[in-house]
Amino acid sequence: MTKDYAAIALRHAPVLQQKVNEMNRRGDYITGVDLSGDLSRVVENWSFVEDKDNSLIAEAYYSVVETSTHYFIIYAFYHAQDWYDGKRLADKIRKNFDEHLHDMEGALAVVTKRKKWTEERVDAFITISHFHFYCYADWMRNENEFLYPGDEWEGRIVGFGDNIDGNIWPTRDGKRNRFSLYAQSRGHGIRGDRKKWGPEHEIIMYFPSLERGEDPERKKYRTERNYKYKKVRYRLTDIHARGGLWENRNNRDVFMANAKGQDAFVDLDDNGSRIAGSANPPWGWDDIDDRHKCGELAINPALIVHDYFSGLREFSMEYVFNPYLNIG
């Protein structure tokens, strides 16, 4: 019987806590790549966001890869604008040299299979923030105890080929705790902690759904302490869905390889010609400091997790389902 990978992705999906800058709130909203309803028109996405008559429905992209011992789940968040503005000299420099169309960053969640699927959880995850990967393990406790009593795995996962950058912070979603991701405004780097999260006091808390995504502008802010926040649902979309991102990887109206050979979302040069842009889909994610090949976080996650973490106990690297490699 075919597994319901969408249900698995939903079960373990994160809460994304997105900082929002009042200078350009819409540029900080996550949304779908096909804003206009046509993936081949992605070069128009910046102007689509600027038109306030257009709704920006929250969306995130996922893929599930499976071995006999683990699930490896990519969660990718798209922003149409990687933007910079402000009065500081640093902001002006970044606006001139680093502002660009498209942005996609996210995380790889590692889920160890157990005899009872109800006891499975995200045991570790890796985020991408710009050109670096960050590693997280070991759940922090809150008032709603998430770790099961006497959990023998508590505190056993440690860094191996890379350091552990922090713990896993829970955010309550109904009756369950989800792991938390924290996204900057403007540049949208994603981490599992609040380091370099930014000074803004507006936050959108995005919660997962398979059925619907919501427009943040249709939700009202709530105030807590010095922060304003909205709770918004994002819709999970399969990267490998028919007509989706992976199927369009060779569509040069959507993706092009850059000088390093990485697939990137297309952009336009000063002459209006299509070029490889500065933002990458998950199979183009790379850490400039490690020895792994570009895209392995999505395409060959068992290898990179094996090299990054120790303490995951039984660990198979043989895939039983990997849609990137046409397995299963």
Residues 6+ apart with CB under 8 A from 75: 9, 13, 14, 60, 61, 62, 106, 107, 108, 109, 181
CB 216 within 8 A of CB 197: no
Residue where the block lists tokens 């990887």: 249
How many whole angstroms separate alpha carbon 133 and alpha carbon 128?
Answer: 5
Which pLDDT score, from 0 to 100, does residue 151 have? 52
The C-alpha angle 263, 79, 81, rounded to 5 degrees, equals 95
Whose CA is closest to 26, among 201, 160, 217, 207?
Answer: 217
- pTM score: 0.93
The per-residue pLDDT for 96 is 54
pLDDT in tens, 16-65: 999 999 999 999 999 999 998 899 999 999 999 999 999 999 999 999 99
pLDDT under 50 in the chain at which residues?
143-150, 152-153
User: What pLDDT score does 93 carry?
Assistant: 53
d(CA 284, CA 198): 26
Q: DSSP for 83-107, please give it.
A: ----SSHHHHHHHHHT-EEEEEEEE
Domains in the chain: boundaries: 5-239+280-321
pLDDT at 150: 47
Give residue 95's pLDDT. 53
Which residues does residue 110 pair with via DSSP β-bridges, in sequence order? 72, 124
